[in-house]
C-alpha cells in the first residue's frame, strides 16, 4: 500500500509555489481596512460569559456596570421564559413545546443562542439571559485588559458598540407579545438611558470580591446557583432556578450598588461601599462571613441570596443520588426552611414590615407546575390544540364493520365509535397531530400517522393500546396496509416520500419518492396497486399550468409502478378505488392561478372536482361545482362496496355530494377525447348530471368512509368534533355523533372555522384553507393584482409561524395580519363583503397559532453537522473570497437576522422580473425554508440553489458568485436548519 | 512525448517477445480451461437501441438498462427485446448517458448524464439534478453508483454524493480528498468492504471508507512515466479509467493496461506479455476476485483466473469473432500462451468496448456500435478440465499480437 508522502511530491511543489504567492496576499488580507483582527488572526471569538466581564466591570471605579446589568430586565430575559405569559406567547406564535427550547424565543431572550457549543466557554451560561456579549459580541478576543484599554484595538478584536437601532432587532413590536403583556412599542431613548452603563472618565477596573486562593475545608461548602440549576433549571424540575432569578433575592447583592443602598448605609452610619460592608452582605449575599474554604469556585457573591442561603451549603447533598433520598439529603446538610428562616434578615429590615407567609408564597418554587390556568382574554385565546378540541381529520371502519376509528388532530388521540350504537366508546392517546388511520386486513392492528411527530403509532385493536411507535418521514399523512398484511405504506408529506414499513419487524424498508406533498392513498380491490394523491403540483416552468401527480405503487413489491398526471389540477387529496378495480376516484382543485383574479371564466379562481384515475393510466377530471354554487375544497371521497355511489366531502361548504358513479362514468365514456381533455374538466354544468344529492354537515367535513356492508357512511366534521352518519339507502344524514370536544367555541376556534369556510368568497369558491392546506402553501404563484393583465405574479407564502414576521404581502405594504386579511382580502381575493371586525380578529387569532413544525434538519439543541457549521460561517461572513469586505447591507445576516431571519425590511435584491412593476420586496423569514419551494417573490426559483445559481448574477442578493460549489452547498445545508 | 515513449517501448518489446516465445518452445499443457462465451446476442439501432454508441450498461434481474449517446433503452431479458426507449422527447433530461445504476431497494434507476447532470427514472418519470438547480458539482457526469441510500457521481470536476432522502449534497475535490486531479472517470461501491472507489484521470484510485470517512489513495509509484517501469508496485498509471472492487480484489483499468490489488499485493496486467487485447482500456468490471472484464479498444479481455493466470480475449476479425484463451503455463513464463482459439462468430459487436456489466452467468458489453450480450449457458468460474471446443493453437506459438 502506498502512502501519499512516498510519491514524487508534485503537489508539494505546487503548494510551495502557492504559498509564495499567498504570503503577500495574506498580508493584504490581514491588514484590509475594517477587518477585525480576530478573523485575520484566524481566531474564532467565543462567548466567555457575564462573569468574565464582571471581573473588571464592576465596583465604583467602573460605575458598577455589572451590578446595573444584574438589576436590569436583560439579566432575567431567559428566566422570564418560565412565566405563564411566555407560554401564551409561544402558543400564539405557533411555536410548539417549551419556549426555553425554541430558537425563536432564545434568539432574543438569551445570548449566543445560535452559537455552536464550541463557541461558548465553560463559564458561559445561557441562563444569564441577555448579557454583555449579546450587544458587545463574544468576548474572548477583546476581553484582555490591555486590549480593552484601547477602544480601537478592542473593536478590531471583535468588540461591538451597538447603536439604538440595533435594540429594535429584538424590541420591535411583536404582535404575539403585545397581545399578552400589552406593552407599547419600547421608547428606545428611554430604554437606552435606563440601561446606560457609562465607564467613568477615571475608570479603574474592578470587580466583585473574589474568594481568592484558599485551602478547601472539610464539610459542606457553597456551590453557587449554577450548580443547583444544573438539575433545578430543567423542565422536569419546573425550572426552579428561573423562578429564583425572577425574585429580588437574585438581585440582593447588585442592589447594594444603587444610590438607595448607599443612602441606607449612610443612615446606618456605615462608611464603606455596601457591597463590601459585612453588615450589608450578611443579608445581601450567601454565606457571608464564612471561611473562604467553605466556598467552591463556582459560588459567586454576585448571585446575592441564593438557594443555599436558605437550604444550606450544597456540596454534600447536591449529588443527584443524595437529593433523590430526602433523608440522606437532610443528613448531608439540606435545610428545609420555614417562614421563621426568613425573619433573620427580613424582620423589620430597613423599617419595612414583613409578612413571612406572603413572602413564602411569593418565592414559592414547587417542583411541579400548578395546574395550567387557561387564560383567555377578549383579544386572544389559546390555540385549538390546547383547548380540548378533537378536530377529527380522517377515519377508517374496522374490517369487521363494528367500529369507526377516527384520527383527531387537536387532541392527539384516536377516538373509537361503535357503529351500531353510534356512540363514542373509547379514546386512545397517540402521537402529535394524528391525521389518518388504517387497519391490517385481519383487523388485529391499526396504524395512525402522527404528522407532528413524524411517526406512526401501532395499536393493538383488541387491547386498544399503542404497542409501538415507528419513525417515518416528515409529516406523515395517509397510510394503508397491503392485502397480504406484510407492508404498510405511509405518505410523508413534508419529505415528499413514501415509507414502506415491514409490518412483521415494524421496520422501515425503504423510502419511495412521491411527487409533492403526498396526501392520501388507496389500495386497489385486487391488492396489486396503490394510488397516492399529491397535494401540490409538480414544479413546473415559470408561469405554466399546474401538473399534479398520482403516484402508483406496486403494493406487493413495494416499488413505484407508475406516475400518472392530472394536468391543470392541484390539491389532489382524498382517493378511493371502485370495487371493479377499473378506476379510482380522487378529489382535486383546478386553480386558475395564471390569470388575474378578476376573470370570471370557467370558474373564477378555483374550481373543485373529482378525478378518475383509470387502471390503464388515463386520467379524467370533472367538476363538482355548479355555476353559482361551488363545492369548495373537495377533501375526501369514498365509494360504496357495490360501486354505485360515491360520497365526496366539501370542507369549505359543509356538504357531502352523493355521486352516481355509473352516470359519471357514462358521461365520460360518451364524450369525445377532446371534450374529456379540454371541456369537461372545466365545465361547471356537468355536475348536475351525476350528483344525485347533497347532504349538509356541520363544520368542515373531511374524511369519509363507508361500512363494509354498504349501509352507512361516516363523515368526520373537523371543526365540529363530530361524525355525520349518512344512511346510504336514503342518501340522507340520520345522526350526529359527538366526539366529546368542548361545546364552547373559543375565539380562536371560531377563527379556525372562518378560515376553513368558503362563505367568505364569491359563490363560495374557496376558503383561506384552499390555498393554505394545513396552514401551509399550495405551491402556486398567483396574479392577485386587479390590473387584469397578468403582471406582478407572487408566490404563495406559508402561514406557519408567521406571527411577528410582519410586514405582510410580498411588497411589504401590510403592517399587520388584520390589514392583510381585511378589506384588501375582499377587494382582491374573495370579492364579496369582507370579514367583520370580529371575524377578522378571530381569523387572525387562529392564523397566528397555526403550528410551526419542528425543524427537520436540526432538532432543538442539536449541534450543527460539519456541513451546516461551514454553511453558518458562509451565512455570517463579512468578507468575500477575495478578502474584500462585503458591504453590510449585502450580507446574508444583515437582512436575514435571527431568530426569524428577517429584519422585516423591504429590499431590492435584483429579483425584479419583467412582469413586476417594482423590485422592492419584503425580506421573508427563513424558518423551515426548506419546505416551501418555489422561492423568491414570484416563485421563479425551484430550489434554494437556483436563487443564487440563476437569479443572482450581479451579487445583488448577497455576494455569492465568489463561492465555490461546495460553499454554496454548505450554505444551503445551514439555511435548512433555520 | 508520451506517444514517442510508447512507440519506443513497443519496438523494444517487439524485438524481445519472439525471444521469449522461442524460450518456451517446450510448452506445457494448459491447467484447465475457462468458460468461453460462444452465444452472443446483439442490440443496435436496427433492433431498437436509440443510438449505437453505448456508453453504459447495467443489468438488474430481468431488466437490462442501456445508456447511449442519444437515449436510454430498457431490454427485457426474458424477451431479449428492447421494450422501451426514452429520449429527450420522452422526458429524458439529456441525450447522452454515461453511467447507470439501479437502486436495489427502491428499483429507481439513476443516470449519469454526460453534460446534463444526474437523473432518476422512477415510475416512468424523470427527476433531474444539475449544476444550477442542485448541489451537483458538475454536469459532466461520467459514472454513477449507489452506496446505501446515497448516489455518487463521478464528474469532470470532482465527485458528488447526494442523499435523496435528506437532499444533502457533498462534494469531494482536492479540497477535502487526496485528489490531485479532479477529473473523476468512474465510481464503484463495494458493499462487502463498505467502500467507494473513484477512478481519477491523473490521480489514480481513491478509496473512501464509508464507515470512517477516511480516504486511501492508490497511485503509480512511477509517477508520471508513461510506461510502467516496475511492475506489480501499484496502479500502473495515475490516469485511471475504471475501477471495480469485489471479494477483496480491486481491479483497475487505465490507458496503459490494467492492475489488480488484493490488499497486499499488486499485479500489473499488461497487454503484450499478458492477456489484455490492448493497453488502451476504457473500463473494467469485476465479477469476482479472480475474474474481471476489461473494456479495450481492441476487444474485451476477461481475466478468468490467477492460478494460473488465464485470459479469454473476445476480439473481432474478418470472419466474425474469436475467443482466444491464453494462459501462463509455467509460473516463470514471462508471456502467456494461447491454448485455445474458439470461433464465436460476432461476439462484441464492435472492438471498441466502452462499458461492461456481469450478472448471473451473463456478460454485457457496451461498444461503439451496439451492445453485446454474452449468454453464459453452462458458465463456470475459473478453470476446469474440459475438451477443447475450439481449435488448438499451433505448437510453439506463444502469445503475440
> For the residues of B24-36, what is the DSSP string, one character each?
T-SPPPPSSEE--
| A967 vs B contacts (CB less than 8 Å) | none
pLDDT in tens, B213-248: 999 999 988 776 667 677 788 998 899 999 999 999
Cis peptide before B308 (omega within 30 of 0): yes
CB contact (8 A) between residue B165 and residue A968: no
Query: To the nearest whole angstrom, how far is the Cα of B13 from the nearest Cα of chain A?
Result: 27
How far is the alpha carbon of A11 from chain B, nearest alpha carbon, in Å? 7
Q: What percent of chain A has pLDDT over 90?
A: 70
Q: Do A966 and B173 lie within an 8 Å CB cutoff?
A: yes
Q: Locate the chain B residue with the closest alpha carbon to A951.
A: B132
Burial of A196 by CB count in 10 Å (0-12 exposed, 13-18 middle, 19+ buried)?
Answer: exposed
- Residues 458-497 in A contacting B (C-alpha not used; CB under 8 Å): 473, 495, 497
Residue B125 has its nearest CB partner, among A563, A943, A976, at A563
Q: What are phi and psi of A869, to 5 degrees?
A: -65, -40
A201-223 burial, b if ≥16 CB within 10 A, otherwise e? eeeeebbbeebeeeeeeeebbbb
> How confident is the model at residue A820, as a pLDDT?
85
CB B282 within 8 A of CB B270: no
pLDDT greater than 60 at residue A373: no
- Do A969 and B234 make contact, defined as CB atoms within 8 angstroms? no
Q: Is the pLDDT of residue A37 over 70?
A: no
Mutate which: A2, A15, A492, A550, vs B, most B CBs within 10 A: A2
Please report, to the nearest 10 degrees, the dihedral formed by the alpha carbons of residues A715, A719, A722, A723 taken in order: 0
- Dist. CA B257–CA B279, nearest whole Å: 4
Residue A117 has a pLDDT of 85
Which cell is A731 given?
A: 342518501
Contact between A513 and B106 using a beta-carbon 8 Å cutoff: yes
Distances (CA, A) of B394 to A466, B314, B385, B400: 79, 19, 20, 13
Average pLDDT, chain A: 89
Return the percentage of chain B with pLDDT > 70, whole number. 90
Residues in chain B within 8 Å Cβ distance of A964: 175
Q: CB A560 to CB B106 under 8 A?
A: yes
Mean pLDDT along residues A910-934: 94
> pLDDT for B71-101, tens place per residue?
999 999 999 999 999 999 999 999 999 999 9
Domains identified in chain B and CATH numbers: 2-384 (2.130.10.10)
State how far Cα A781 lies from the chain centre. Answer: 24
For strand A547-554 and strand A559-567, is the pairing parallel, antiparallel, or unpaired? antiparallel
- List, for residues B131-186, the tens digit of each pLDDT value: 999 999 999 999 999 999 999 999 999 999 999 999 999 999 999 999 999 999 99
Please state, in angstroms and rounded to a whole number, the distance separating the CA atoms of residues A977 and A926. Answer: 9
Q: Does A915 touch chain B (CB under 8 A)?
A: no
List of chain A residues whose C-beta atoms are within 8 Å of the C-beta of residue B217: 2, 4
Q: Which among A76, A55, A57, A68 has a CA at the least distance from the CA of A259?
A: A68
State the nearest Cα–Cα gap between B180 and chain A, in angstroms.
7
- Burial label, A543 (beta-carbon count in 10 A; 0-12, 13-18, 19+): middle
Determine, for residues B165 and A943 on separate chains, whether the beta-carbon distance falls below 8 Å: no
**Counting every residue, how long is chain B?**
401
Omega within 30 of 0 (cis) for the link into B137: no
A644-692 pLDDT, tens digit per residue, is: 999 999 999 999 999 999 999 999 999 999 999 999 999 999 999 999 9
**Which whole-number Å values give the CA distances from B253 to B57, B224, B268, in the listed order?**
17, 16, 10
Burial of residue A594 (number of CB atoms within 10 Å: 0-12, 13-18, 19+)? middle
| Minimal-distance CA residue of chain B relative to A868 | B168
- Are B134 and A497 in contact (CB < 8 Å)? no
* Cα–Cα distance, A614 to A583 (Å, whole number): 4
Cβ distance of A946 and B133 shorter than 8 Å: yes
Q: What is the pLDDT of residues B43-75, one digit of tens each?
A: 999 999 999 999 999 999 999 999 999 999 999
Confidence band for A8, pLDDT divided at 50, 70 and 90: very low
CA distance B9 to A964: 43
Average the pLDDT over A386-398 and give the result.
Answer: 93
Query: Nine-digit cell at A406?
Result: 377516527
**Residue in chain A lying closest to B180 (CA):** A11
User: B120, A4: Cβ pair inside 8 Å?
Assistant: no
Nearest CA in chain B to A561: B123
The grid coordinates listed for A352 are: 419595612
Complex confidence, ipTM = 0.86
* Residue A10 CB neighbours (<10 A): 11
Burial class of B343 by CB neighbour count within 10 A (0 to 12, 13 to 18, 19+):
middle
Q: Tens digits of per-residue pLDDT, A91-110? A: 888 787 889 988 889 999 99
B163: closest chain A residue by CA: A511
Q: Would you place residue A370 in the very low, low, confident or very high pLDDT band (cuts 50, 70, 90)?
A: low
Q: Does B168 touch chain A (CB under 8 A)?
A: yes
Mutate to test the interface with A, among B107, B121, B123 (most CBs of A within 10 A): B123
Q: Given B123, B166, B217, which is nearest A563 (Cβ)?
A: B123
Cell 478578502 belongs to which residue? A883
Is residue A807 reached through a cis peptide bond, with omega within 30 degrees of 0 on the bond before it?
yes
DSSP A248: G
Per-residue pLDDT, averaged over A447-473, amounts to: 97
pLDDT score at A128: 94
Quick check: A619 and A680 in contact, CB under 8 A?
Answer: no
Identify the closest residue of chain B to A559 by CA–CA distance.
B106
User: In a mutagenesis test of the B interface, which of A945, A963, A975, A977 is the best target, namely the one with the most B β-carbons within 10 Å?
Assistant: A945
Put simply, the chain A residues between 507 and 546 with a CB less than 8 A from any chain B CB are: 509-513
Cβ neighbours of B167 in A, within 8 Å: 930, 976
Q: Is residue A344 very low, low, confident or very high in pLDDT (cuts 50, 70, 90)?
A: confident
Strand duo B204-209 + B214-218: pairing: antiparallel
In percent, the amount of chain A with pLDDT more than 70 equals 92
Task: Write out the DSSP string of A885-923.
Answer: BPPGGGSHHHHS-TTTT--S-EE--S---TT-S---EE-
Distance CA A793, CA A806 (A): 20
Q: Do residues A53 and A154 make contact, with C-beta atoms less than 8 angstroms apart? A: no
Q: Which of B127, B134, B176 sits opposite A945 (nearest CB)?
A: B134
Of B124, B133, B216, the CB nearest to A562: B124
Classify residue A369 as left (phi > 0), alpha (psi -120 to 50) or beta. beta
For residue range A802-849, what is the model confidence (pLDDT) as tens digits?
888 889 989 888 888 888 888 888 887 888 888 999 999 999 989 988
d(CA A276, CA A268): 15
Asked if residue B6 has pLDDT above 50, the reply is no
Q: Which of A187-201, A432-446, A598-612, A846-860 is least confident?
A: A598-612
A8, closest residue in chain B (CA to CA):
B223
Residue A315's pLDDT is what? 94
Please determine, for residue A976, whether its predicted confidence score (pLDDT) is greater than 90.
Answer: yes
How many beta-carbon pairs below 8 A join chains A and B?
A: 95
Residue with cell 486590549: A147
CA distance A460 to A445: 5
C-alpha cell at A965: 460549489
- The predicted pLDDT at position A385 comes to 62
Are the Cβ atoms of A560 and B180 closer than 8 angstroms?
A: no
In this complex, the residue of B123, B138, B170 whose CB is nearest that of residue A552 is B123
> Would you state the pLDDT for residue A378?
37
Q: Is the pLDDT of residue A19 over 50?
A: no
* Nearest beta carbon to residue A562 from set B105, B123, B135: B123
Amino acid at each position: 500500500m502506498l502512502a501519499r508522502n512516498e510519491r514524487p511530491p508534485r503537489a508539494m511543489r505546487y503548494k510551495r509555489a502557492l504559498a509564495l504567492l499567498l504570503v503577500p496576499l495574506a498580508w493584504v488580507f490581514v491588514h484590509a481596512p475594517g477587518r477585525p483582527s480576530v478573523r485575520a488572526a484566524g481566531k474564532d471569538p467565543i462567548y466567555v460569559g457575564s462573569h468574565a466581564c464582571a471581573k473588571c466591570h464592576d465596583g465604583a471605579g467602573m460605575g458598577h456596570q455589572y451590578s446595573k446589568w444584574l438589576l436590569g430586565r436583560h439579566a432575567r430575559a431567559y428566566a422570564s421564559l418560565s412565566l405563564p405569559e411566555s407560554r401564551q406567547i409561544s402558543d400564539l406564535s405557533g411555536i410548539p413545546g417549551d419556549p426555553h427550547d425554541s430558537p425563536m424565543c432564545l434568539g432574543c431572550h438569551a445570548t449566543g443562542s445560535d452559537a455552536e457549543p464550541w463557541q461558548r466557554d465553560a463559564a458561559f451560561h445561557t441562563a444569564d439571559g441577555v448579557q454583555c456579549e449579546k450587544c458587545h459580541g463574544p468576548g474572548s478576543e477583546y476581553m484582555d485588559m490591555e486590549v480593552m484599554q484601547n477602544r480601537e484595538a478592542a473593536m478590531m478584536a471583535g468588540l461591538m458598540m451597538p447603536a439604538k437601532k440595533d435594540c429594535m432587532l429584538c424590541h420591535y413590536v411583536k404582535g404575539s407579545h403585545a397581545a399578552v403583556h400589552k406593552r407599547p412599542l419600547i421608547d428606545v431613548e428611554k430604554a437606552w438611558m435606563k440601561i446606560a452603563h457609562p465607564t467613568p472618565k477615571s475608570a479603574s477596573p474592578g470587580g466583585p470580591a473574589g474568594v481568592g486562593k484558599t485551602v478547601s475545608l472539610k464539610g459542606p461548602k457553597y456551590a453557587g446557583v449554577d450548580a443547583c440549576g444544573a438539575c433545578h433549571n430543567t423542565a422536569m424540575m419546573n425550572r426552579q432556578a428561573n423562578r429564583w432569578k425572577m425574585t429580588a433575592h437574585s438581585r440582593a447583592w447588585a442592589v447594594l450598588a444603587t444610590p438607595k443602598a448607599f443612602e441606607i448605609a449612610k443612615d446606618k452610619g456605615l462608611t464603606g461601599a455596601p457591597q463590601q460592608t459585612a453588615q450589608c452582605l450578611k443579608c445581601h449575599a450567601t454565606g457571608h462571613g464564612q471561611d473562604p474554604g467553605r466556598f467552591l469556585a463556582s459560588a459567586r457573591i454576585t448571585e446575592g441570596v441564593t438557594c443555599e442561603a436558605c437550604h444550606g451549603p450544597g456540596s454534600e447533598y447536591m449529588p443527584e443520588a443524595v437529593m433523590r433520598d430526602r433523608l440522606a439529603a437532610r443528613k448531608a446538610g439540606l435545610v428545609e426552611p420555614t417562614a421563621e428562616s426568613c425573619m433573620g434578615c427580613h424582620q423589620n429590615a430597613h423599617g419595612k414590615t414583613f409578612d413571612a407567609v406572603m413572602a413564602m408564597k411569593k418565592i414559592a418554587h414547587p417542583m411541579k407546575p400548578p395546574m395550567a390556568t387557561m387564560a383567555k382574554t377578549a383579544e386572544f385565546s389559546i390555540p385549538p390544540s390546547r383547548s380540548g378540541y378533537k378536530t377529527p381529520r380522517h377515519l377508517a371502519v374496522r374490517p369487521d364493520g363494528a367500529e369507526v376509528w377516527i384520527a383527531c388532530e387537536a387532541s392527539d388521540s384516536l377516538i373509537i365509535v361503535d357503529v351500531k350504537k353510534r356512540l363514542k366508546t373509547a379514546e386512545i392517546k397517540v402521537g402529535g397531530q394524528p391525521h389518518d388511520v388504517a387497519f391490517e386486513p385481519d383487523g388485529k392492528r391499526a396504524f395512525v400517522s402522527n404528522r407532528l411527530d413524524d411517526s406512526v403509532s401501532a395499536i393493538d385493536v383488541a387491547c386498544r393500546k399503542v404497542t409501538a411507535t415507528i419513525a417515518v418521514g416528515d409529516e406523515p399523512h395517509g397510510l394503508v396496509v397491503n392485502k397480504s398484511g406484510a407492508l404498510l405504506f405511509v405518505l410523508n408529506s413534508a419529505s415528499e416520500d413514501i415509507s414502506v414499513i415491514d409490518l412483521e419487524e415494524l421496520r422501515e424498508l425503504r423510502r419511495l419518492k412521491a411527487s409533492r406533498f403526498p396526501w392520501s392513498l388507496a389500495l386497489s380491490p385486487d391488492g396489486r396497486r396503490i394510488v397516492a394523491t399529491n397535494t401540490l403540483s409538480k414544479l413546473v416552468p415559470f408561469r405554466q399550468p399546474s401538473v399534479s401527480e398520482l403516484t402508483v405503487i406496486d403494493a406487493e413489491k413495494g416499488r413505484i409502478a407508475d406516475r400518472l398526471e392530472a394536468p391543470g389540477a392541484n390539491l389532489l387529496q382524498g382517493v378511493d378505488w371502485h370495487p371493479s378495480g377499473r378506476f379510482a376516484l380522487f378529489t382535486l382543485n383546478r386553480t386558475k392561478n395564471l390569470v388575474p383574479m378578476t376573470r370570471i371564466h370557467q370558474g373564477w379562481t378555483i374550481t373543485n372536482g373529482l378525478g378518475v384515475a383509470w387502471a390503464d393510466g388515463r386520467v379524467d377530471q370533472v367538476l363538482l361545482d355548479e355555476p353559482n354554487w361551488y363545492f369548495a375544497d373537495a377533501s375526501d371521497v369514498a365509494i360504496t362496496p357495490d360501486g354505485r355511489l360515491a360520497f365526496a366531502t366539501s370542507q369549505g361548504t359543509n356538504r357531502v355530494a352523493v355521486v352516481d358513479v355509473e352516470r359519471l362514468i357514462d358521461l365520460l365514456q360518451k364524450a369525445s377525447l377532446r371534450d374529456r381533455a379540454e371541456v369537461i374538466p372545466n365545465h361547471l354544468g356537468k355536475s348536475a348530471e351525476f350528483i344525485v344529492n347533497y347532504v349538509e354537515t356541520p363544520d368542515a367535513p373531511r374524511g369519509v368512509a363507508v361500512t363494509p356492508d354498504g349501509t352507512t357512511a361516516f363523515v368526520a366534521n373537523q371543526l365540529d368534533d363530530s361524525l355525520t352518519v349518512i344512511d346510504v339507502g336514503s342518501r340522507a344524514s340520520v345522526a350526529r355523533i359527538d366526539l366529546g370536544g368542548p361545546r364552547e367555541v373559543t375565539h380562536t376556534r371560531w377563527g379556525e372555522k372562518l378560515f376553513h369556510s368558503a362563505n367568505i368568497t364569491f359563490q363560495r369558491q374557496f376558503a383561506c384553507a384552499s390555498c393554505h392546506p394545513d396552514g401551509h402553501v399550495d405551491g402556486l404563484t398567483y396574479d392577485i393584482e386587479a390590473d387584469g393583465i397578468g403582471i406582478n405574479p407572487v408566490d404563495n407564502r406559508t402561514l406557519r409561524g408567521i406571527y411577528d414576521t410582519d410586514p405582510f404581502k410580498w411588497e411589504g405594504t401590510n403592517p399587520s395580519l388584520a390589514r392583510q386579511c381585511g378589506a384588501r382580502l375582499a377587494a382582491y381575493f374573495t370579492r364579496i363583503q369582507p370579514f367583520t371586525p370580529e371575524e377578522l380578529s378571530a381569523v387572525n387569532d387562529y392564523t397566528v397559532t397555526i403550528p410551526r413544525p419542528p425543524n427537520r434538519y436540526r432538532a432543538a439543541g442539536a449541534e450543527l453537522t460539519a456541513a451546516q457549521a461551514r454553511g453558518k460561517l458562509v451565512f455570517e461572513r463579512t468578507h468575500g473570497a477575495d478578502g474584500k469586505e462585503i458591504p453590510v447591507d449585502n450580507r446574508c445576516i444583515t437582512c436575514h437576522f435571527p431568530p426569524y431571519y428577517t429584519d422585516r425590511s423591504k429590499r431590492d435584491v435584483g429579483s425584479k422580473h419583467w412582469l413586476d412593476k417594482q423590485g422592492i420586496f419584503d425580506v421573508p423569514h427563513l424558518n423551515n425554508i426548506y419546505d416551501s419551494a418555489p422561492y423568491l417573490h414570484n416563485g421563479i426559483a425551484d430550489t434554494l440553489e437556483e436563487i443564487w445559481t440563476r437569479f443572482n448574477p450581479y451579487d445583488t442578493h448577497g455576494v455569492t458568485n465568489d463561492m465555490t460549489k461546495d460553499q454554496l452547498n454548505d450554505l444551503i445545508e445551514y439555511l435548512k436548519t433555520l | 512525448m508520451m506517444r514517442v515513449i510508447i512507440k519506443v517501448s513497443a519496438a523494444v518489446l517487439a524485438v524481445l517477445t519472439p525471444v521469449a516465445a522461442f524460450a518456451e518452445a517446450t510448452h506445457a499443457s494448459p491447467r484447465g480451461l475457462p468458460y468461453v462465451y460462444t452465444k452472443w446476442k446483439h442490440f443496435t439501432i436496427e433492433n431498437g437501441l436509440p443510438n449505437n454508441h453505448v456508453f453504459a450498461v447495467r443489468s438488474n434481474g430481468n431488466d437490462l438498462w442501456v445508456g447511449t449517446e442519444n437515449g436510454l433503452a430498457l431490454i427485457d431479458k426474458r424477451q431479449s427485446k428492447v421494450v422501451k426507449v426514452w429520449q429527450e422527447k420522452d422526458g429524458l433530461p439529456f441525450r447522452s448517458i454515461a453511467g447507470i445504476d439501479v437502486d436495489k431497494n427502491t428499483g429507481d434507476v439513476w443516470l449519469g448524464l454526460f453534460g446534463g447532470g444526474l437523473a432518476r427514472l422512477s415510475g416512468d418519470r424523470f427527476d433531474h439534478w444539475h449544476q444550477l438547480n442542485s448541489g451537483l458539482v458538475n454536469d459532466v457526469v461520467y459514472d454513477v453508483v449507489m452506496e446505501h441510500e446515497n448516489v455518487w457521481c463521478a464528474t469532470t470536476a470532482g465527485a458528488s454524493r447526494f442523499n435523496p432522502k435528506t437532499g444533502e449534497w457533498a462534494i469531494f475535490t482536492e479540497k477535502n480528498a487526496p485528489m490531485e486531479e479532479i477529473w473523476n472517470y468512474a465510481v464503484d461501491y463495494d458493499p462487502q468492504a463498505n467502500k467507494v472507489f473513484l477512478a481519477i484521470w491523473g490521480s489514480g484510485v481513491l478509496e473512501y471508507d464509508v464507515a470512517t470517512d477516511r480516504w486511501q489513495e492508490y497511485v503509480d509509484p512511477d509517477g508520471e512515466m508513461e510506461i510502467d517501469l516496475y511492475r506489480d508496485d501499484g496502479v500502473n498509471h495515475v490516469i485511471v479509467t475504471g475501477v471495480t472492487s469485489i471479494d477483496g480484489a480491486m481491479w483497475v483499468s487505465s490507458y496503459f493496461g490494467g492492475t489488480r490489488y488484493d490488499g497486499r499485493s499488486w499485479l500489473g496486467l499488461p497487454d503484450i506479455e499478458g492477456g489484455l487485447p490492448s493497453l488502451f482500456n476504457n473500463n473494467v468490471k469485476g465479477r469476482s476476485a479472480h475474474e474481471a472484464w476489461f473494456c479495450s479498444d481492441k476487444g474485451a479481455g476477461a481475466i478468468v483466473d490467477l492460478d494460473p493466470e488465464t485470459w479469454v480475449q473476445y476480439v473481432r476479425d474478418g470472419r466474425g469473432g474469436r475467443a482466444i484463451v491464453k494462459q501462463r503455463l509455467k509460473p516463470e513464463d514471462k508471456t502467456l500462451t494461447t491454448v485455445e482459439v474458439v470461433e464465436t462468430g460476432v461476439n462484441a459487436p464492435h472492438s471498441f468496448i466502452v462499458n461492461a456489466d456481469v450478472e448471473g452467468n451473463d456478460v454485457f458489453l457496451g461498444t461503439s456500435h451496439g451492445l453485446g450480450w454474452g449468454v453464459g449457458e453452462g458458465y463456470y468460474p475459473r478453470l476446469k478440465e474440459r475438451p477443447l471446443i475450439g481449435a488448438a493453437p499451433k505448437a510453439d506459438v506463444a502469445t503475440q499480437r
